[in-house]
Amino acid sequence: MQRITAIIAAALMTTGMASTAAMAQDNANSAPQSQSQAPAKNFSDEELQQFADASQEIASISQNYTEKLQNASDEGDQQKIRQKANDEMVEAVNDSGMDVEKFNSIGQAIQQDPQLMQRVKGMVQQPQQ
């Protein structure tokens, strides 16, 4: 159970890194803040499974790059490592079948809805069929 929570927590923490490109695009079309305060809760099981799959991959990527970041010699190297990790995380989200914006929406909803968090945890626990 702790591992599942850690995977989802790592995915949520790294969502900020994975959303950098999406946020840059969103800033051009600035939406009112009220929209982001109330996350949509009508996610399909398929979307939640995609989120769970992407979260596991992102947690793995994050783990790989944490050590590299700690061993980086200067800020320039750290920035390159962060960018490479970000690119891999975005690719992991896209490979799961969803876009970064949807991934971030689900991540926000999970932080605010314990029942939704439990649904996703259950999907992480289930072996892939």
Give per-residue pLDDT as tens, 78-109.
999 999 999 999 999 999 999 999 999 999 99
Between 1 and 68, the higher pLDDT residue: 68
Distances (CA, A) of 103 to 71, 78, 110: 29, 25, 11
Sequence length of the chain is 129
**Residue 117 class from Cβ within 10 Å (0-12 exposed, 13-18 middle, 19+ buried)?**
middle
pLDDT at 15: 52
The residue written with tokens 């596991």 in the block is: 56
Q: Mind listing the pLDDT tens digit for each residue in 32-76?
A: 443 344 444 689 999 999 999 999 999 999 999 998 998 988 999
Amino acid in the structure at residue 53? D
pLDDT at 2 over 90: no
Task: Give the angle subtended at the CA of 27 by the CAs of 104 and 17, to the nearest 5°.
Answer: 40
The residue written with tokens 């876009």 in the block is: 99
Q: Mind listing the pLDDT tens digit for each residue in 8-35?
A: 655 655 555 444 434 433 433 444 443 3
